[in-house]
Structure 1
């Protein structure tokens, strides 16, 4: 009798619950794993200010959802491409606060 059979018999007896010996899955890349970098940029925008958020490791759809939420809460325009969000205007502190409330770590 190997260890798997032994554990299975203990579960059938009620000595152990299944959750006690099934390995837990590691958390996927997402909010907890992301360290986002928020900065202000004026290059290539004819002197207009933009707030950049970089460092997302989640899917592009999730980045688009975060961008939509930020744009709605800030009342500004912006865009998202790949793992980067651009918010129009100088909203550095507001963006940092909103991202922290959404569960992201911000630098």
Structure 2
């Protein structure tokens, strides 16, 4: 029996070839670079946040799971909330210096403050 799920065939209207194989775009996740090769940028941000200050960590190269794990570690060490998605980590509050120190302790040597 052939797999015939319509979700796998989005954007393909019709094919008259009975042996036609629907080719799927596979999302290839980047390999996570070792901490010493990561070029992270740490900055304070208050745009579109209702005047609240957040610490923004950008420049992470790797899988979404590793990004979330790093974000979880930073948020727990600072004792605040935040999020990690789309290649950036948001930590609520002004923890720029503390996060830079934590990242350097974890081996992220190419971390630099922005602004």
TM-score (norm: length of structure 1): 0.71
Could you list the runs of 5+ residues in structure 1 that have no partner in the other structure? 1-27
Q: Which residue among 24, 39, 46 is the counterpart of 1:42?
A: 46
2:107 maps to 1:106: no
Q: Which runs of structure 2 are paired with 1:28-67 in the superposition (5 Å)?
A: 29-67=33-71
2:88 maps to 1:69: no
Q: Which runs of structure 2 are paired with 1:81-96 in the superposition (5 Å)?
A: 81-96=85-100
Q: Deviation of residue 29 (structure 1)? A: 2.2
RMSD: 1.1
Could you list the runs of 5+ residues in structure 2 that have no partner in the other structure? 1-31
How many residue pairs match? The answer is 80
Q: Deviation of residue 34 (structure 1)? A: 0.8
Structure 1 outlier segments of 4+, above 4 Å:
none
| Partner SS, residue 76 of structure 1 | coil
